[in-house]
Amino acid sequence: MPDHRAMDLTNDRPVYVIGAGPGGLAVAAALRERGVRAVVLEKSESVGASWRGHYDRLHLHTTRRLSGLPGLPMPRRFGRWVSRDDVVRYLEKYADFHELELVTGVEVTRIEPAGSDWVLHASGGRLLTGRAVVVATGFNHTPRLPDWPGLDTYTGELLHASAYRDAAPYAGKDVLVIGAGNTGAEIAVDLMEGGAARVRLAIRTVPHIVRRSTAGWPAQRTGILVRRLPVRLVDKAGGLMGRISVPDLSAHGLPRPDTGLYSRVRQGAIPVQDVGLIDAIRSGRVEVVTAVESFDESKVALAGGSPIAPDTVIAATGYTRALEPLVGHLGVLDDRGRPLVHGARAPKQAPGLYFTGFTNPISGMFREMALDARKIAKALSR
């Protein structure tokens, strides 16, 4: 429990934490633990908004024990692979348990320096002054849809994966899923199990597929162990492991990847954890097709193939960080719109401005955000 005696409740310039997802809640709890007043600003009406919106069958692919946030482990009864609903329950409990100061329904639109303080512009014309700001608005902030030629002429049903809940609306339908990251792979399996008439998965870059666990050993633990080793070494070991644990799916249109597993992680693509895709492809119930090139009224053109006419297209094509309106003017983002620094380090030109949750590490984001939370709290309580 937090030490309330140590808390400086007279401090009228709190640390503002933007976003009440796991990243923001973890930082606020770690700050409170150190007696630093933190106010979490959340644009939706509750904590864990991203997790509330995810599809029904989603479970953490990182283990319960390695996904707990500072000061409160996830309960054993959640099992090893925690369901979406239990993640939301945990985040609600987490905010209550740490007695976090949370203001919902407030969207921060811009952050400006003001001497050694920071002014936050927020919805309703609010101007809030804090002594520091932690941005925790999420890696998966705004659904991204590539600018495919002809998309505006497309007459079929098209949705981003962020709007997908379950397979029921697609029973008996011909569905094309675009993108074989973890989300696209899992939605393809969900559709197949949920009675879609045909499921095709369009793949531009062959993903690395790993077993979620092997003989009880979770892939996440391997990720933690190898993350500081040389990339070439991990690529080699990953290739070997892949050949041993994942069957050759070349005959089904999915050759083995031609770049190393860890090299790809470093470029931002974490491997796909198998939750049924390998079997689905092997049995032909999910068909692999080439990348989508363009749309033309009811047709979808695939690279090097004839056009197809699915009933529904689900684009599992990722998200953008959308940090530009918030902090783009401060020179703290790289050319891909990601913060130049994260965790305990604040940008040189913006002391007091921190970021958490904007990396995509092989060791698991919950775990990384928990570590960053403690580091940020330590830096801010100096």
Ligand X SMILES: Cc1cc2nc3c(=O)[nH]c(=O)nc-3n(C[C@H](O)[C@H](O)[C@H](O)COP(=O)(O)OP(=O)(O)OC[C@H]3O[C@@H](n4cnc5c(N)ncnc54)[C@H](O)[C@@H]3O)c2cc1C
**14, 16, 33, 62: residue in contact with ligand X (rule CB under 6 A):** 62
Contact (Cβ atoms closer than 8 angstroms) between residue 130 and residue 271: no
**28, 57, 67, 301: residue in contact with ligand X (rule CB under 6 A):** 67
User: Which phi and psi angles does 6 have, rounded to 5°?
Assistant: -80, -10
- The region of 2-10, 45-53, 190-198, 287-295 touching ligand X under the rule CB under 6 A is 45-53
- The region of 55-63, 150-158, 223-231, 232-240 touching ligand X under the rule CB under 6 A is 55-63
Q: Does 50 bind ligand X (CB under 6 A)?
A: yes
**14, 70, 130, 138: residue in contact with ligand X (rule CB under 6 A):** 138
Q: Does 137 bind ligand X (CB under 6 A)?
A: yes
Q: What is the DSSP letter of 194?
A: T
CB of 81 to ligand X, least distance (A): 8
Q: Residues 248-257: contacts with CB within 8 Å, 24+ apart? A: 249/278, 249/281, 249/282, 249/288, 252/281, 252/282, 252/284, 252/287, 252/288, 253/203, 253/281, 253/287, 253/288, 253/289, 254/203, 254/206, 254/281, 254/288, 255/206, 256/206, 257/205, 257/206, 257/207, 257/208
- The region of 72-80, 92-100, 287-295, 364-372 touching ligand X under the rule CB under 6 A is 364-372
Q: Does 365 bind ligand X (CB under 6 A)?
A: yes
Residue number with CB closer to ligand X (79 or 307) = 79
Cα–Cα distances (Å) from 251 to 241, 256, 262, 301, in that order, read 20, 11, 25, 22
CB of 40 to ligand X, least distance (A): 9
Closest CA to 72 of 88, 49, 95, 51: 95
Chain position whose Cβ is nearest to ligand X: 21
- The region of 6-14, 173-181, 274-282, 360-368 touching ligand X under the rule CB under 6 A is 360-368
Query: Which residues 90-129 are close enough to bind ligand X by CB under 6 A?
Result: 107-108
Cα–Cα distances (Å) from 151 to 174, 203, 306, in that order, read 19, 18, 17
CB of 306 to ligand X, least distance (A): 32
Angle, helices 84-97 vs 22-33, to 10°: value is 20
Q: Does 24 bind ligand X (CB under 6 A)?
A: yes
Q: Determine the Cα–Cα distance for residues 145 and 373; give it in Å rounded to an integer.
A: 31
**14, 15, 22, 317: residue in contact with ligand X (rule CB under 6 A):** 22
Contact (Cβ atoms closer than 8 angstroms) between residue 60 and residue 82: yes
Contact (Cβ atoms closer than 8 angstroms) between residue 343 and residue 251: no
Residue number with CB closer to ligand X (183 or 222) = 183
CB of 213 to ligand X, least distance (A): 13
Residue number with CB closer to ligand X (38 or 301) = 38
Contact (Cβ atoms closer than 8 angstroms) between residue 273 and residue 210: yes
Q: Does 49 bind ligand X (CB under 6 A)?
A: yes
Query: Which residues 275-304 are close enough to bind ligand X by CB under 6 A?
Result: none
Footprint of ligand X on this chain (CB under 6 A)? 18-24, 41-44, 49-51, 54, 58, 60-62, 67, 107-108, 136-140, 183, 357, 364-366
